[in-house]
Chain A
Amino acid sequence: MTTKRIRPKIARGSAELAILALLAEQSLYGFEISKCIDERSGGALHFTLASLYPMLYDLEKRGWIAGRWQSNEAGRDRRYYCLTPDGKKALAPLRREWNVFFHALDRLAGVTNA
C-alpha cells in the first residue's frame, strides 16, 4: 500500500503537535525536523521550508521551543531547537486534544475503516 501525501491544508494543523513531539525526544534543526516528520509519517506529512519555519518561529514566540546556534557533527552551524519546560507542559494537553479530535472525526466520518 502506498502512502498518499496529506494535503497541506490538513497537514498544517498537525505541524504544531508533530514538531513538539519530535523535539520532546531530542534537539533538532529545521531540516532534520522536516526529514524526521517525512520519514516517521511514511511520507504522508511533508513540511517545506515555507510551512516549517513560520511554525517554528511561532512556537518559539510562544515560549514552547527555544532555538540556538550550534555546530553539528560535521562542524557546520545549524540552529537547533529544543523543547522548553512550557512546551513540555503544552504537549500533553495538545495530544489529548488531538485524541478527542480524531475520535470525534471517527464518529462523525468513520475515518478508521476508510
Chain B
Amino acid sequence: MFNMTRNKWKKGSALILALTLGAALAGCGSNKAAEDTAAAAGEGKPAETADKTLTVYTAGPEGLANNLIKEFESQSGIKVETFQGTTGKILARLEAEKSNPVADVVILASLPSAQGLKKEGLTLAYPEAKNADKLSKDWSDPEGNYFSTSASALGIAYNTKLVTTPPTSWSDLAKPEYKDQINIPDPSLSGSALDFITGYLSDKGDGGWSLFESYKANGVAMAGANQEALDPVITGAKSMVAGAVDYMTYKAKAKGEPIDIVYPQEGTVVSPRPAAILKSTKHEENAKAFIDYLLSDPAQKLVSDAALLPGRTDVKAENRANLDDIPLLKTDWTWMGEHGTEVTDKFTKLLK
C-alpha cells in the first residue's frame, strides 16, 4: 500500500517537472531558433548570396590577429569569424570537429604542427599565392600547403634589475651564479620551446643533450607555456628564461617592465608561424584571398608592428632585431618535425 501511494505520487511529481522543463526548453528553443536564423543570415548560404564569410582559427598575439582581420574585412567585405587560442587548443578543436569541420584557415605558432596537418592530408595546396616566393624557403611548403607569414626568434629573456651583465652563450646559464634562477617553457605546452630544443639538437647532434643535462644540474625549471615562464621573470621571482619568445619580451619591455632579451652568439632558432587553408573549407575563394592578404605589404607591416619577424624576407622590421642581426643555428626542419614527440618525452623526463 505504501509503495503504491509513493509511486503514484512520484509519477505526479515527475509529470510536473517534465511540464515545467518542457516549457522552459520550449522557451530556450524559440530563443535559439531566433539566433539560428540570425546566424544563418550571417553565414550567407553560398547557394543564394555571394559567399562572404570565412572562419579563421588563430594563435596569438591577440592584438595582431584582431588588426589583421579588421583590415582584411574592410578590404574584402568578407565577414570573418575567429577563434583565438594557443596552437594546442586550436589543434584539439580541429580534431574534435574532424567529422564536420568549421574552420577554413588556421594560423599556428608551430611549424611541426603544420607539417603534421599536411602529412595527414588536411591542408589545401595554394601554390599560386601572391608573394609566396618571397617567403623564407625553409619555413614554407614548396607545394603551397602552408605559409609562414610571421616568426619569432628565441633568446634569453632576463630581468634587468637582477641580471646586470647578460649572458652571451647558452652554456652561461649553467653557471653556479644562476642556480635555481632560470625557467624554460615546457616543450609539451609551448611549440616554440620545442622548436628551440629540437633546433639546437638538429645542429649539435646527440651531443646537444649535454647542454640540457647541465641545465638540469643547475636547477633550471620547466614552467608552463611561454607567458607562464616569462611572468616570474617580470615579477622578479626568477632571473631568466631560456628559449624565451622574443616578441613577448619586446612587448613587456615596451610597457616599461624591467626586462630585456639577448640572442646567444653561437646562434639560436627562429620559430615560424604558419598559416594554412584546410582541405575541408567550404569558402575556398575567401580562404585564398585571406592568404594573399596575409602575404601582402600592409599585413606584413602589421606583423612587424607587433614586434614579430615578418615572414617575407623583403620586409624589414623597425622596432626589433631583424633576421640578419640574429645569429642562427643550422636547423633542419624535416628532422625537427619527425623527432618532436621523442624529444619532448626525453626532455620533460630529464627536467622533471
Q: Do A and B belong to a common assembly? A: no
